[in-house]
Chain A
Amino acid sequence: MRIAFAGNPNSGKTTMYNALTGRNEKVGNWGGVTVGSKEYSLKKEFAGDNEVIAVDLPGAYSMSPFTPEEGITSEYVRTANPDAIVNIVDATNLSRSLFFTTQLLELGIPVVVALNKSDINEKEGTSIDAEKLSKKLNCPVFKTVSVNDKNNGLSDMIGKAVSLAGTTQKAPYLQADIDLHDKAAVDAEDRKRYEFVNKIVADVEKRKVLSKEITVQDKIDRVLTNPVAGIVVFALVMWFVFWVSQTWLGPLVADWLVGWIETFQGWVADQLANSPAILSALIADGIVGGVGAVVGFLPLVMVMYFLIALLEDCGYMARVSAVMDPIFKRVGLSGKSVIPIVIGTGCGIPAIMSCRTIRDERERRTTSMLATFIPCGAKIPVIALFAGAFFSGASWVSTLSYFFGLVLIFLGALLIKGITGYKYRKSFFIMELPKYKAPSFKYAFRSMMERAKAYIIKAGTIILVCNTLVQIMQTFDWSFHVVEEGSDQSILASIASPFAILLIPLGFGVWQLAAAAVTGFIAKENVVGTLAVVYGLTAFIDTEELALTGGANEVAMTMGLTSVTALAYLFFNLYTPPCFAAIGAMNSEMKSKSWLFGAIGLQLGTGYTVAFLINQIGTLVTEGHLAAGFVPGLIAEICMIVVLVLVARKVRAHFDEQYALHKNSKAGAAA
């Protein structure tokens, strides 16, 4: 048996779904967190002996989709024939929610209405006569509070839905038989529906505080959405998040953790003392060392996830989106693009998926193309490693990485706007500002643990396999003879060397660094893991101790990088294409091969150009001369510009043609 969860955005569908299934899907206090359907069986206490699958759907205002994620919902309830629908209604906004409710009631599938967030109504003195509402709608109505563990009304509500499965719903309001292509007729019908809804609301709802009264929340909003103060606050908030996670609390915990990892590595090496040297190197250095180097950074990532979860939960994201809208408009995007970027500080994949809430196709594709310029959780270890080894742990390295990522997003958006020849379709921006709520520490903790679990699993699988392969490839040559550590004869060296040549103009043309950058495309943590393996280092994070023992210098010396080339290498890894998984996500969101290849090309070009400029200009400033490989690098840059111009000309040549096609069919748009 399948029960679909449908309702307006930000009515609390996923929170309810999590409570009923015990899952830990992402929730947040803004509309459009869930962008795809998810299903899982109900907990035993709710389902009894039945096998009940709950289906969580993206929020929708009505059956006619406006953005792609809304379409998923209407498509599902129309075609997938769920056995019952739980319509989650935001009880604080009954007057808007019931429009969709009356549409759902017309489908014939039994509907149970959950008046969610009823606790807020109680606090604000709004009363809804559930019994009366139930009579008017012809369906059961329950008051629910999904965020509460007890007395939340969920058990009764879902029990009723299960018992109704398979019955037929009688609609309280039926749309007249009209020609759906006749716009005027449809409009008139929709008006009638709203009149019907308005009458019900007037009958069942009593408000002590009218929505239009100015509250404390509005006063806060005035500051947070102020074009100057709002942006300053946002910058401070993000700086605080990065500072706590990457400079203060994160490293503090990581320090302690790394101590344990080293002890463990030592213990493993002791156990292997009598085994062949190759085996010991493979297990102690390759597996434990490489994976350990990545896991050592886990505390930084966890603290970051925790803080971002708090931000997402309190309602601040919608305000950020609103305050950033005018700035993003200048580069052809909108405030909607801000949310994927903030989510991107955690992980690029959900960030790219959240682009679905953007209505305009060009804007949506552009955002998913650029969102990963913001360093994600997997890039934190890379940043922390370089900040520690080359810049004595300076916090400006991470701040600069994020800030520069944002600059690249703006520049990239301008570039894409130029290439695609910005279609002057009016880009409207409307964002619901949800009520603020105190963020739940319990939820943030759970969300952090969930991500930590994923991180450890990744370290134990993909990273482990990659490290093992790297270790094996650098131990043997092509005829499987053991070679000396760091030898140019190894398999790894011979594969990575051709890539390394390309990197000479960037200042890091050695095979070890090239290999780490390449494995980074599989997963960015690999950069750290591979460096640990090829240079036989583990204690990356412990900067203070490293400094005392000269370790930081040792790391820096082994890699043979100056601070200029180190920064170039770091930025190269940050701004080249993200991992394969993110590229896969881009592919499914863009639905266009030329956009996908454009995205990969743009990211490769950006990473290369940034590293080239930093290396050449940096060397010129610090040493008074250009770095090696300036001319070949310049030629590469010129080639990129030529490609860009050619692409732009091609796109623009097809532009008119495309537009002409677009009027008759949609096929022309997918170029």
Chain B
Amino acid sequence: MEDKIRLLDAEVGKTYTIKEINTDDDEMNAFLFRLGCYVGEPITLVSKKKKSCIVVIKDGRYNLDQLLSDAILV
């Protein structure tokens, strides 16, 4: 099995490939998908704080809370 880490443990400024998304919420997963956030796609961590982070998905920047960033494994 590949190593997966939580988004909040990733390195700022680095681009990762999304390996798993699990929010336990189908609608949320589908919503993320439409933004271009799905397994196999790149995601870049722009900055992170204790409980949130800012990422680049496709050409947009998003602020994610801890719950959501924990659900995205890279």
Residues of A within 8 A of B (CB): 61-62, 64, 66, 92-96, 99-100, 183, 187, 190-191, 194, 211-212, 214, 218, 221-222, 225-227, 318-319, 321-322, 325-326, 329, 334-335, 426-433
Contact = CB atoms under 8 A, between A and B. Distances in A.
A96 B52 CA distance: 23
B2 interface: no
A66 B32 CA distance: 10
Contact of A433 (B25, B31, B62, B71): B62
Contacts of A212: 15, 42, 44, 46, 56
Given A428-B67, A429-B65, A66 B44 contact: no
Contact of A326 (B24, B52, B61, B62): B52
Interface of B: 13, 15, 23-28, 30-36, 38, 42, 44, 46-47, 49-52, 54, 56-65, 67-68, 71
Given A95-B59, A221-B47, A432-B62, A66 B68 contact: no
B59 A211 contact: yes
A214 B55 CA distance: 11
A62 B35 CA distance: 9
A325 B54 CA distance: 13
Nearest to B39: A191
B65 A428 contact: yes
Nearest to B33: A190
Contacts of B36: 95-96, 99, 194
Given A95-B59, A218-B47, A430 B68 contact: yes
A326 B30 CA distance: 24
A326 B47 contact: no
B64 A429 contact: yes
B58 A214 contact: no
15 contacts: A62-B34, A95-B58, A99-B34, A221-B46, A221-B54, A222-B47, A319-B63, A321-B63, A334-B65, A426-B23, A426-B25, A426-B28, A426-B67, A429-B52, A429-B68
A428 B68 contact: yes
A573 B12 CA distance: 49
Nearest to A91: B59
B60 A93 contact: yes
A431 B59 contact: no
Given A222-B47, A428-B25, A429-B68, A96 B62 contact: no
A92 to B, nearest CB: 6
Given A96-B58, A430-B68, 5 more contacts: A64-B30, A93-B59, A227-B49, A430-B31, A430-B65
A66 B30 contact: yes
A430 B47 CA distance: 15
A335 B67 CA distance: 13
Nearest to B47: A222
Contacts of B51: 227, 326
Nearest to A429: B65
Contact of B52 (A92, A183, A322): A322
Nearest to B56: A212
Q: Which 9 A-B pairs have the closest CB atoms?
A: A322-B63, A429-B65, A212-B44, A211-B59, A93-B59, A61-B34, A95-B58, A96-B58, A66-B31
A433 B35 CA distance: 13
Nearest to A67: B31
Contacts of B63: 225, 318-319, 321-322, 325, 335, 429-431, 433
Contacts of A222: 47
Nearest to A211: B59
Contacts of B59: 92-96, 211
Contacts of A95: 36, 58-59
Contacts of B54: 218, 221, 225, 433
A608 to B, nearest CB: 36
A214 to B, nearest CB: 6
Indicate the member of A94, A183, A211 with the most B CB atoms within 10 Å.
A211
Contacts of A99: 34, 36
B38 A191 contact: yes
Nearest to B25: A426
Contacts of A318: 63
